[in-house]
Amino acid sequence: MKIKNSKIVIFIIIFITILALIFYFKSFQFIKNSPLISNQERNFVNKSYPSQSKIFQSRALKLSLQLPKNWNVEEKLTFIDLVSANGKINVSRIATNFNNLSGYLKDFDNKRGLKVSTEESLKISGYDSIKRVEIFKGGSISSQKVYFIYIDGWIYSLSTSSESLYNDLDQIAKSFKYTP
């Protein structure tokens, strides 16, 4: 009787392992073949970056970005640094209890010592977004360009304090895709 029970247990373990492997490979194939960026957006970004580009996807932050090929990515638990020879762009995601971007930014700005020099509302991948340049009254940086994107109780921010990267930030932000 023990031999029969152990054979059943071994069969069940092998069966579950096979199912898990099939699920893993099917999921990987789906992610690999899923269009993260539309052809129109890919053409826009490729024209902006004459050299080849690459798509970076973060499962932890649930996003994808199109980057110039010579950029490096340093992914941490709660943020990403996109690093080039000229500096870096920071990408982060935080939760909010606000149900819109303007409410969040009004509260956020009241807690920080900064001045907003330019601000523009726009849509990125169909989501409410704000692009602006912030000027700080003190600290290690004097200003930064930042994109805020609101998605289902999450605020994504893409920012840099390096003015030489402002155009790169614009292109990378426009390639942003939410990948739940």
pLDDT tens digits along 119-170: 999 999 999 999 999 988 776 678 899 999 999 999 999 999 999 999 999 9
Yes or no: say if 93 and 80 are a contact pair by the CB < 8 Å rule.
no
Burial of 168 (0-12, 13-18, 19+ CB in 10 A): buried
At 40, the pLDDT band (50, 70, 90 cuts) reads very low
Residues contacting residue 7 through CB under 8 Å, at least 6 positions apart: none
Sign of CA dihedral 82, 160, 168, 43: positive
At 12, the pLDDT band (50, 70, 90 cuts) reads confident
Rounded to an integer, what distance in angstroms lies between the CA atom of residue 66 and that of residue 161?
Answer: 20
> What token pair was written down for 8?
């059943």
Minimum mean pLDDT range among 5-19, 82-96, 163-177: 5-19
- What global pTM score does this model have? 0.70
Assign domain 38-178 one CATH number from 3.40.1410.10, 3.40.1000.10, 3.40.718.10, 3.40.50.720: 3.40.1000.10
Show the beta-strand stretches assigned E in the chain. Answer: 53-58, 63-68, 72-75, 79-84, 87-95, 114-124, 127-136, 143-151, 154-160, 177-178
